[in-house]
Amino acid sequence: MEIKLNGKKVKANEGEYILDVAQRENIYIPTLCDHPAVKPTGACRMCLVEAGVEGRKKKIVTSCAFHVKQGLEVNTDTPTIKEARKVVMDLLLARAPNSESLKEMAQKLDMETVSTFEPVENAGDCILCGLCTRVCDEVVGANAISFNSRGADMDVGGPLLDVPQDCIGCGACAYVCPTDCIGLKDDGEKRYLEKWDRELPLMKCRECGWPFMPAFQAIKFNESTKVPKDFFKLCPDCRN
């Protein structure tokens, strides 16, 4: 099918989201809570665009979660959109004043990299985008962390904000976190995830002795990936 992106006709495929097409066409849409490994959620609200089928009134939608359809016209940088994104970014910067990626994104949006609001107390640079919880659920299947409470009190962590006992220490959360606020540290024979206050022993490679993977992760991944039983006994280097 064909859609119009900022006035230009482009090809799009059934089932794609607006954001997918824009990224392929090198049209910049800022986004924080989207990741190809998980389903879209539309939480951060940075990827807003104006979209509508030709001839009908355009609506403001999140491009990460809006499917393309024949005749769709999308504008990614109208003054309304730009202004809304700036307000959203300003609010997020107050949660994550130390995040380099947010500052970079703010620069691209042509705005200050310091929030006009005072920092949110105890936010710890987390913008509550939910990528960590979704990847833990949808990809890893551990479901160790989730959102707690609601509204302005919302936070993310283990059940009742206690240490997540189901965390296998795989580090997928830290890998996808857009503000790098989880704090994964491998220290000798232990792995520590600072945000969750979770410490796990690392299993050593049978060949070279490198402590490369938490045992819980090996068990879980063995189950879910159906690799040979001994697969995780070796570190990635010794496997080849």
Q: Is 151 in the site for another protein (CB under 8 A)?
A: yes
* Residue-wise DSSP of the chain: -EEEETTEEEE--TT-BHHHHHHHTT-----SS--TTS-----S--SEEEEEETTS--EEEETTTPBP-TTEEEES--HHHHHHHHHHHHHHHTT-TT-HHHHHHHHHTTS-SS-SSPPPTT-TT-----HHHHIIIIII-----EEES-GGG-EEESGGGS--TT-----HHHHH-TT--S-EEEETTEEEETTTTEEEEEEEPTTT--EEEEHHHHHHHHHHH---TTGGGS-HHHH-
Closest CA to 181 of 191, 193, 170, 169: 193
The answer to whether residue 147 forms part of the interface with another protein (CB under 8 A) is yes
Give the nearer residue to another protein in terms of CB position, either 176 or 235.
176
Nearer to another protein, 83 or 189 (CB): 83
* Residue 74 CB coordination number (10 Å): 25
Using CB under 8 A as the binding criterion, the count of chain residues that bind another protein stands at 36
| Stretch near another protein under the rule CB under 8 A, chosen from 57-65, 163-171, 181-189, 203-211 | 57-65
Q: How far is the CB of 92 from another protein (least distance, A)?
A: 6
Nearer to another protein, 10 or 88 (CB): 88
Calpha distance 101→96 (Å, rounded)? 10
Q: Is 60 in the site for another protein (CB under 8 A)?
A: yes
Site for another protein in 67-86 (CB under 8 A): 67, 80, 83-84
Complex with another protein: residue 83 or 187, whichever CB lies closer: 83
| Residue 91 touches another protein, criterion: CB under 8 A | yes
Report the residue number, 91 or 234, with the smaller CB distance to another protein.
Answer: 91
Minimum Å distance from CB 117 to another protein? 6
- Taking residues 163 to 202 in sequence order and writing x for each that binds another protein by CB under 8 A, - otherwise, the string is ----------------------------------------
- Of 108-137, which residues contact another protein (CB under 8 A)? 117, 120, 127-128, 130
Beta 48-53 vs 155-157: how paired, if at all? unpaired
Among 41, 75, 113, 143, binds another protein (CB under 8 A): 41
Residue ranges binding another protein (CB under 8 A): 40-46, 48, 60-62, 65-67, 80, 83-84, 87-88, 91-92, 94-95, 117, 120, 127-128, 130, 146-147, 149-154
